[in-house]
Copies of this chain bind each other. A is one copy, B any other.
Amino acid sequence: MAFSMKQRANTGLARKATAATSRVPAMVVRAVAAPAPPAAATETKNAFGVFRLSYDTQNEDPSLTRSWKKTIKVAVTGASGNISNHLLFMLASGEVYGKDQPIALQLLGSERSKEALEGVAMELEDSLYPLLREVSIGTDPYEVFGDADWALMIGAKPRGPGMERADLLQQNGEIFQVQGRALNESASRNCKVIVVGNPCNTNALIAMENAPNIPRKNFHALTRLDENRAKCQLALKSGKFYTSISRMAIWGNHSTTQVPDYVNARIGGMPATDIIRDMKWFREEFTPKVALRGGALIKKWGRSSAASTAVSVADAIRSLVTPTAPGDCFSTGVISDGNPYGVRDGLIFSFPCRSKGDGDYEICDNFLVDEWLRNKIRASEDELQKEKECVSHLIGMMGGACSLRGAEDTTVPGEV
């Protein structure tokens, strides 16, 4: 089968795309709709099957598009996988970035998944989402991350048989080193990066350290699924509907050392500990219920929880592009530099955060950390420090041996 070679000479990506194309001649680029190019641009060289360079958008109803914002470019890795198969449709629907926010999707897959990527693009096309203005697919991160305003890094290699977490750190760390460098060269200088592929905190750290041109605070590791699951468990335990739970912080690593914070959580505006008067449950059962939820689910469902993971990625983005309710927070793994809780600098660590809705955030500084919480947070911090040492060679750091070899497996069950 033949892939088309596209010249995006009439789009904003022109310079970068041409550079990347010359580097990787077998590149696949597929544009569902490019921003209204001159008529000549619709002459596509070597168009493959149903693929074309662009649509002429001039016939569109201006009453629809007049109030729209400038199109944002969202790069997604692991784009042919199960999580993306939910997430991409949520993004295209306008549910995440808003009904006035047109979007271009730039999808990264592997050589092996090229055809699957085309299938995903065809399904997106058949879905006729008005806000979806362009879909491009490719296998070169330097090209796919071109001018990206957001990079949603879903892809990671699954753990093979007999591999331990230390091996996974190494294997996926190398991928995130390459992708971090590609972000550094190609993405928007203010690109927001959300890492989902595991081990996501340390993968985010590696990407960040390899992308010095992008602000360190723009890198996130997804702990929102943990937050959502924690809210659900508090709802189940208290008999209150889940919308009544607030200030549900996840601290630390997205692993079984994560710390769902019952101390600061609220139920119907009251301290959770005033509603659920069962400290034994909070201290012994709550954290495992959250951390092992994915494993419980995979036993029922027979496959990993792609849909709710995608929902949590959508939630994580929405929390950055809409203002946080007064007094509330959301959880995300971000760089610990200068945090108000004494966690050592230089780790991607989950904190309670709030946002003005401008894509930026700040770490909430008014959470009470009691002794129980302090000890749990320290244990997760120690784990992240060890993970960092295991990948020191990938982040330009002098490092010793990886002390996680043979350690207990703290990977969240139900994930790779």
Which residues of A are interface residues toward B (Cβ below 8 A)? 33, 42, 49-50, 52, 54-57, 59-61, 64, 80, 85-86, 89-90, 93, 95, 115-116, 118-120, 122-128, 130, 225, 228-229, 231-233, 235-236, 239-244, 267-269, 289, 293, 296-302, 305, 307-308, 311-312, 315
- Residue of A56, A60, A128, A315 contacting most chain B CB atoms (<10 Å): A128
- Which B residues are CB-close (under 8 A) to A55? 235, 239-242
By secondary structure, the A interface counts as helix
Contact B60 A225 (CB under 8 A): no
User: How far, in whole Å, are A126 and B42 apart by their CA atoms in the complex?
Assistant: 45
New A-B contacts (18) at CB < 8 Å, excluding given A55-B241, A119-B301, A130-B243: A50-B233, A56-B239, A56-B241, A59-B267, A59-B269, A80-B301, A86-B89, A86-B307, A93-B95, A116-B302, A118-B300, A119-B300, A120-B301, A122-B297, A123-B297, A126-B228, A126-B305, A128-B242
- Which B residues are CB-close (under 8 A) to A232? 125-126, 128
Contact B89 A302 (CB under 8 A): no
Chain B residue at minimal CB-CB distance from A129: B311
Contact A126 B95 (CB under 8 A): no
User: How far, in whole Å, are A127 and B128 apart by their CA atoms in the complex?
Assistant: 25
User: How far, in whole Å, are A50 and B238 apart by their CA atoms in the complex?
Assistant: 12
Contact A89 B128 (CB under 8 A): no
- Which B residues are CB-close (under 8 A) to A269? 59
User: How far, in whole Å, are A116 and B300 apart by their CA atoms in the complex?
Assistant: 5
Copies in the complex: 2
- Which B residues are CB-close (under 8 A) to A268? 59
Contact B60 A127 (CB under 8 A): no
- Residue of A130, A244, A298 contacting most chain B CB atoms (<10 Å): A244
User: How far, in whole Å, are A298 and B301 apart by their CA atoms in the complex?
Assistant: 24
Q: Nearest Cβ distance between residue A48 and chain B, in whole angstroms?
A: 11
In the A-B complex, the 9 residue pairs with the smallest Cβ-Cβ separation, listed nearest first, are A119-B301, A59-B268, A119-B300, A123-B308, A59-B244, A127-B311, A55-B241, A126-B308, A57-B241
Q: Nearest Cβ distance between residue A308 and chain B, in whole angstroms?
A: 4
Chain B residue at minimal CB-CB distance from A275: B59
- Which B residues are CB-close (under 8 A) to A307? 85-86, 89, 123, 127
Contact A311 B118 (CB under 8 A): no
User: How far, in whole Å, are A97 and B398 apart by their CA atoms in the complex?
Assistant: 56
Contact A243 B61 (CB under 8 A): yes
- Which B residues are CB-close (under 8 A) to A293? 122, 126
Contact B243 A52 (CB under 8 A): no
User: How far, in whole Å, are A307 and B116 apart by their CA atoms in the complex?
Assistant: 13
Contact A56 B240 (CB under 8 A): yes
Contact A127 B33 (CB under 8 A): no
8 contacts between A and B (CB under 8 A): A33-B241, A42-B239, A59-B244, A86-B89, A119-B301, A119-B305, A126-B225, A126-B311
Contact B59 A127 (CB under 8 A): no
- Which B residues are CB-close (under 8 A) to A52? 236, 239
User: How far, in whole Å, are A182 and B300 apart by their CA atoms in the complex?
Assistant: 27
- Which B residues are CB-close (under 8 A) to A85? 307
User: How far, in whole Å, are A345 and B269 apart by their CA atoms in the complex?
Assistant: 60
Contact B308 A127 (CB under 8 A): yes
Instruction: Name the contact of A231 in the complex, choosing from B42, B128, B289 (C-beta under 8 A).
Output: B128
Contact B301 A116 (CB under 8 A): yes
Chain B residue at minimal CB-CB distance from A119: B301
Chain B residue at minimal CB-CB distance from A245: B128
Instruction: Name the contact of A297 in the complex, choosing from B42, B60, B119 (C-beta under 8 A).
Output: B119
Contact A300 B127 (CB under 8 A): no
- Which B residues are CB-close (under 8 A) to A90? 93
Contact A229 B116 (CB under 8 A): no
User: How far, in whole Å, are A80 and B307 apart by their CA atoms in the complex?
Assistant: 12
Chain B residue at minimal CB-CB distance from A115: B300
- Which B residues are CB-close (under 8 A) to A61? 243-244
User: How far, in whole Å, are A5 and B228 apart by their CA atoms in the complex?
Assistant: 27
User: How far, in whole Å, are A124 and B310 apart by their CA atoms in the complex?
Assistant: 12
